Amino acid sequence: MILLRKLHRYTGITIAPLVLVQVVTGFLLQMDSLNRNARLLHNWSQVSKFVAFALAIGLAFMVVTGSIIFIQMWLQRRKRAARKRRAVMTSNPSSREDTE
């Protein structure tokens, strides 16, 4: 899990500037500032198609690893809560419902 978190972190740090470029150029295109440079940079045709491919792979990796990390944390939280409930039930038998 630690390796997965590190990979997720470093991938995010690496692709963050590329995502920021996508956001800014996309915003410029939506604001009807349709200059040629913004369109070329947004499509990555001015830089390289490899950058667009790397960005797509990086974003997909972030989604998958983020989902895995979230599910692992959720399962751990459920286990901790169940252990806490069992500890309370065993330490305080008067709070149990099945006492006679």
List, for residues 10-68, the tens digit of each pLDDT value. Answer: 999 999 998 898 888 777 777 765 666 677 677 766 667 788 888 889 999 999 999 99
* pLDDT value of residue 58: 92
pLDDT higher at 81 or 93: 81
Question: CA 45, CA 43: separation in Å to the nearest integer?
Answer: 5
Structural domain contains residue 96: no
Give strand ranges (E) for 1-100: none
Q: Which residue has the tokens 């751990």?
A: 76
Specify the pLDDT at position 33: 58
Q: Distances from the Cα of 10 to the Cαs of 14, 58, 70, in angstroms?
A: 6, 10, 17
Let me know: does 64 contact 13? Beta carbons within 8 Å: no
**Which domain covers residue 19, as residue numbers?**
2-90
Evaluate whether residue 74 is within a structural domain. Answer: yes
* pLDDT range class, residue 93, cuts 50, 70, 90: low
Residue 42: inside a domain: yes
Within a domain: residue 98?
no
Q: Is residue 100 part of a domain?
A: no
| Residue 13 domain-assigned (yes or no) | yes
Q: Rounded to whole angstroms, how far apart are CA atoms 49 and 6?
A: 27
The tally of domains found in the chain comes to 1
